[in-house]
Amino acid sequence: VFLDRCLASIGDLADEIVVVDTGSADDTCAVARRHQARVLSFSWTGDFSEARNHGLDAARGRWILSLDCDEVIALRDHDSIRAAMTDQDIAGYRLTTRNYTDRGDRSECFAADGAYREQKDYAGWFPTTKVRLWRRRREHRFRGAVHELVEASILESGGRLADCVVPVHHYGLVEKARVSDRYVEAGERKLQEAPDDERARYELAIAYRDAGRLDEALGGIEQVLTAIEAG
């Protein structure tokens, strides 16, 4: 679902789409090809930069727009992206990512204001910013095995960076949280039905951990260990 939505959001914007597949076991490749994307297979090395740079090596356009599969660009912002690429003095643009969340009470969050339909029913979003749009040049490369960025290579080659008002809409965090919450609810229900089932208690502790509820996860594990020691 994520990839289909991502590629559909840039279909009218991109002259070419390159998807790097690091060994998916789902229908990633089929979805990508439905959007006329070129799919590159890349054996996972543990280094995100290597995977992204593999995609850069295959790209042919003058500009690169980098998105993850759980991100989209709003259709209304396509013209702003096109306009940004006409500035001959700029080598790359920083875009702010709207990381959507159901936790609108977080101190770093902005409340959803309905400015974009892409906000959907989420309570709010918190921002992160990095270069997403840049001129394709051989020296412009991602660096970092994780949290990989292209900024340093652009600046070191003398390129200028600027801010672009277009946001990237990111859904992965909130959707993962919603899935985790469903596992927690199911685990709690299972334990209520069988309160002496230590496997159910252990499974619930893992669900708590995945949902970020670490105190409850630790408490559950401690109860399981106590039960095991008691024999």
Q: CATH number for the domain including 33?
A: 3.90.550.10
Residues 93, 130 within the same domain: yes
Out of 170, 198, 218, pick the residue that ends a domain. Answer: 170
Q: 36 is in which domain, residue-wise?
A: 2-170
Give the residue from 119, 143, 170 where a domain finishes.
170
Q: Name the more confident of 67 and 173.
A: 67
Q: Are residues 30 and 115 in the same domain?
A: yes
Rounded to an integer, the average pLDDT of 126-131 is: 95
Mean pLDDT, residues 176-199 taken together: 82
- The whole-number pLDDT of residue 102 equals 85
Interval 99-126 mean pLDDT: 86
Answer yes or no: do 35 and 126 share one domain.
Answer: yes
Are 18 and 61 part of one and the same domain?
yes
What angle do helix axes 214-230 and 198-210 make, rounded to 10 degrees?
A: 160
Select the more confidently predicted residue: 107 or 115: 115
Residues 43 and 146 in one domain: yes
Q: What is the pLDDT of residue 133?
A: 99
In angstroms, rounded to a whole number, what is the distance separating the alpha carbons of residues 195 and 126?
38
Mean local confidence (pLDDT), 139-156:
94
Whole-number pLDDT of residue 178? 66
Tell me: do 165 and 182 sit in the same domain: no
Same domain (yes/no): 130, 208: no
> Which residue, of 153, 170, 187, is where some domain finishes?
170
- pLDDT band, residue 103 (cuts 50/70/90): confident
Say if residue 139 is in the same domain as residue 196: no
What is the average pLDDT across 217-221? 92
Residue 47 sits in the same domain as residue 138 = yes
Instruction: Compute CA distances 168 → 26, 96, 179, whole Å.
Output: 25, 6, 22
- Looking at the chain, the whole-number percentage of residues with pLDDT higher than 70 is 97
Of the CA atoms within 13 Å of residue 213, those in its CB half-sphere come to 17
Domain match, 196 and 156 both? no
Q: 133 and 180, same structural domain?
A: no
Q: How many domains does the chain have?
A: 2
Q: Based on the fold, state whether residues 39 and 6 are members of the same structural domain.
A: yes
